[in-house]
Amino acid sequence: MRFLLVICLVASCFAAPQQGYDEAPAPYDFNYKVENPPTNTYFGQNEVGDITGRVTGSYYVYLPDGRLMTVEYVSDQNGYVPRITFSQNGHPVHG
C-alpha cells in the first residue's frame, strides 16, 4: 500500500504544471569597468539582453604583453558566437 502511495505521489509531481518557465526574458543592460593604473589592470564588459532572449555584448582585458584583447559576442537560440580580436599597443586608457 505504501508503495502505491509513493508511486501516486511521484506521478503527481511530474503531472503538476511548472511555474515560471513560460515567462519571457526581461530586457537588461549591464556594464562594468576596472581601471587601476598603479597595477596596470584594465578590463571591462558591457552586455544587453532583449525580450527574445538574445544577448549581445563585449568584454576586454589589457594583457601583460601590451595587447588589448576584445571579445564581442552574441548568444541566442543558435548558441554562443564570439569574435576575438587583439590590438597591439591597445592601452584602453590614454592620457
Q: How far apart, in whole angstroms, are the C-alpha atoms of residue 74 and residue 70?
A: 14
How high is the pLDDT of residue 58? 98
Distance from CA of residue 44 to its chain's centroid? 13
The number of domains in the chain is 1
Domain presence at residue 44: yes
Distance from CA of residue 37 to its chain's centroid? 27
How high is the pLDDT of residue 24? 83
Domain presence at residue 72: yes
What are the average pLDDT values for consecutive 10-residue runs of the chain, which has 95 residues?
A: 47 53 86 95 97 96 94 96 91 63
Domain presence at residue 9: no
How high is the pLDDT of residue 85? 97
Domain that holds residue 64: 24-95
How high is the pLDDT of residue 14? 52
Domain presence at residue 31: yes
Whether pTM > 0.85 for this model: the answer is no
Q: Residue 87: beta bridge partners?
A: 68
